[in-house]
Structure formats: structure tokens, C-alpha cells
A and B are shown apart, each in its own frame.
Chain A
């Protein structure tokens, strides 16, 4: 199984940049497709897709969210962070079956 590793938490100030990382135990890229996706989840709510295939903004997601990376290392960037962005963020790979990272809780500094 492909294991995805995320830092448990990240503290950030409002208006600053937040960079959340996700490292895969093996490559999740096939040809030009990077099969890594990012979600936001707030307490009591279902997850929301933010970024698909590493760098594509999902429908209705603000442009302050962006994604990058390839192979085994991926990053979700939020710039600037707003109060509504305080949540837990998960990465997910679909290269082999589906696995999720353990999540990174974005907190206010």
C-alpha cells in the first residue's frame, strides 16, 4: 500500500501563507498525471475536494488555494490564509487503490 505522510498540525497567522506537505512512500505519478488530491474538512462536515491531480483547482474553490508537486512530494498552499480556512486538510492518492494521509490540522498562531 502507498502510505502518505503529513505533519499533524501547522500554526499560521491570518493573512500569511500556509504550506501543507504530503509525502508518498512511492511515486503516485503516471505519465503526465500526478494522482494526488487535496481535501478540506471542518468539524461535523463532509470533506470538500480542493485540488485534484496535484494542481487543478476544483470547482468553486477560491484561487488562494493551490497545489504543486510530482512523484512523491506534494504541497498544498493557502495564500493568504483566512479565518474560514481553519480546518483539517487531507491528501489522497489514487495511483494504487486509494489511500489518505492522516491529515494536517491548520491552527491559528
Chain B
């Protein structure tokens, strides 16, 4: 059974940093691109970043470029999102997701990040 388990969320002050992790199991992690998708409270889904199988290619939405870094450790089957210079508008539940044929077939349960003073 495929499982994606996020961790690392919490309350953080504006301008500070936070690092999210996503532990994967039940599939060959190194064979799949991975992504982070977020959802602000009561709002819709928003793609944040994606990474290729080997980690050599990364992609970001414009609003997080230069502040967020997606990475992965295939030996540990773990995906990361380093979030720096956090803003109030980054407040959201962050999901890790695995794309298959372009659609996100597998999702974690999400971890809540709240940016507030």
C-alpha cells in the first residue's frame, strides 16, 4: 500500500524558516517525480513545487521561487520542502503528492503550516 506521511508543520513567525518532510513507502520512490501541493484554509488547491526522479530538475510556482527549495533523498525515500522567508500567505496545509500520467495519484494526509506573529 502506498503511503505518504508528511511532518514538520507548525506555527512560525513571518520571515522565519521551516522544513517539511514526506516519508514514502509502498512504491519505488526513486522511480517517481514528486511534488508539494498546498491548500490555504477554506481555499482551493495550489501546486507549489515539483522534483524529478533524481532530483536534478526542480520547478516552482512564481510566488515561492527563491524562498522554497524542494529536494529528495532517494536512499531514505523522503521528500523535503525547505521554506525560508515565510509570509502570512504561505499559511496552508501542505500535501506531498506523487504524479502519475500528469495527475497526482497519491497524496499524504497533509501538514499544517501557520505563519503568524
Contacts and interface: CB of A to CB of B under 8 A. Distances in A.
Interface size class of B (residues with CB under 8 A): 20 to 34
B61 A97 contact: yes
Contacts of A51: 103
B105 A98 contact: no
Interface string B44-65: 1111001000000001010000
B102 interface: yes
Contact of A58 (B59, B95, B105, B108): B105
B104 A92 contact: yes
B44 A98 contact: no
Instruction: Please report whether the interface of chain B is mostly helix, strand, loop or mixed according to DSSP.
Output: strand
B45 A90 contact: yes
Contacts of B103: 37, 39, 49, 51-53, 58, 92, 94
Bin chain A's interface residue count. Answer: 20 to 34
Contacts of B104: 37, 39, 47, 49, 92
A25 to B, nearest CB: 16
Given A46-B110, A47-B107, A100 B47 contact: yes
**6 nearest CB pairs, A to B:** A37-B103, A94-B102, A52-B103, A98-B47, A46-B107, A100-B45
14 contacts: A37-B102, A37-B104, A41-B45, A46-B107, A52-B105, A53-B101, A59-B105, A98-B50, A99-B47, A100-B44, A100-B47, A101-B44, A102-B44, A103-B44
Given A100-B46, A103-B45, 15 more contacts: A37-B102, A37-B103, A39-B103, A41-B45, A46-B95, A46-B107, A47-B95, A58-B105, A92-B45, A92-B103, A97-B59, A98-B35, A100-B45, A101-B44, A103-B44
Interface of B: 35, 44-47, 50, 59, 61, 95, 99-105, 107-110
